[in-house]
Structure 1
Amino acid sequence: MTEPEPRRRRRAHGSLETQVLGVLHEADGPVTAGWVQERLAADLAYTTVMTVLARLLAKHAVTRKREGRSFVWMPAADEAGLAALKMRRVLDGEQDRRAVLASFITGLPEGDEQLLRELLDQDPDED
């Protein structure tokens, strides 16, 4: 009697997207899906990497441009911008935005709350 193969553990939701984004941030510029696949620690099929990149493109987390017969990929924003995008997606998924924002603000440490107040008071044209 042969032993059954051990079951693969499922990844946490979004963890593969996070890994792909991390690899893209390490790149010096636009890269191919094959380049991303080679640098991921997991043994992933090329089609899986392409699926993840397509999902990230639909979420506006990455951009692509045609180069020859294929595409090269790059993150749409820096890591702070991507974190903000994730926060907006969570907020957009909730029905009571006011309650979510109020809960978020009241849960911030004092220093972060003060920083948020300063940012909200800042002239949008200032940088």
Structure 2
Amino acid sequence: MTDRNTSGSARHPRRRGQGELEAQVLAALRQAAGPVNAAWVQERLGGGLAYTTVITILTRLHAKGAVARERAGRSFAWTPTADEAGLAALRMRRMLDAEADRGAVLASFVTALPAGDEQLLRDLLARTGDEGED
């Protein structure tokens, strides 16, 4: 039997955006007082996510370097190593690493930025350069 909304058409659950579930898992981990297991994360996320789905997301985040894990009995305890901005930066770095001509990719990226973002990037690069001179 298919659920129907008020207009009579079939109702489908909203699909999550790309990376949305990873961001939710990271947010839950950041709320923890220390390392937590996957069941703790699953409970915080609610929404009926399967335990295996939570494990899959945690494993993917671990492969990306966004979370750390330590053995806790037969399972793992998980801690965040990146926030949402860090996760986005990891994705950007992976995309850049997949391209043969990094210079062309970076040039295309920078020229497509709005003026405010381009200036922000310049300021960040200048600040990073200043820190490297110490």
- Give the structure-1-normalised TM-score: 0.77
Question: Which residues in structure 2 correspond to 1:1-16 (within 5 Å)?
Answer: 3-4=1-2, 8-16=13-21
In structure 2, list runs of 5 or more residues that go unmatched: 4-10
Counterpart of 1:99 in structure 2: which amino acid?
A
Instruction: Report the identity percentage.
Output: 65
Residues 67-126 of structure 1, C-alpha deviation per residue, up to 9 Å, x if partnerless? 344311111224432232122123233444323211221233334323322333323436
What is the rounded CA distance, in whole Å, between the counterparts of 1:8 and 1:113 in structure 2? 38
Q: Corresponding residue for 1:58?
A: 63
Question: Taking structure 1 as reference, are residues 115 and 24 closer, same or farther at Cα in structure 2, changes over 3 Å only?
Answer: same
- Give the structure-2-normalised TM-score: 0.74
What is the rounded CA distance, in whole Å, between the counterparts of 2:100 and 2:132 in structure 1? 31
Aligned length: 125
Question: Taking structure 1 as reference, are residues 74 and 52 closer, same or farther at Cα in structure 2, changes over 3 Å only?
Answer: same
1:91 to 71, 96, 111: 96
Q: Corresponding residue for 1:125?
A: 132
Which has the larger displacement, 54-63 or 84-93?
84-93
In structure 1, list runs of 5 or more residues that go unmatched: none
Residues 17-75 of structure 1, C-alpha deviation per residue, up to 9 Å, x if partnerless? 22211211222222111110001132111111111111111111111112344311111
Question: Taking structure 1 as reference, are residues 111 and 50 closer, same or farther at Cα in structure 2, changes over 3 Å only?
Answer: same
What is the rounded CA distance, in whole Å, between the counterparts of 1:59 and 1:105 in structure 2? 24
Question: Taking structure 1 as reference, are residues 12 and 120 closer, same or farther at Cα in structure 2, changes over 3 Å only?
Answer: closer
Q: Is 1:42 the equivalent of 2:47?
A: yes
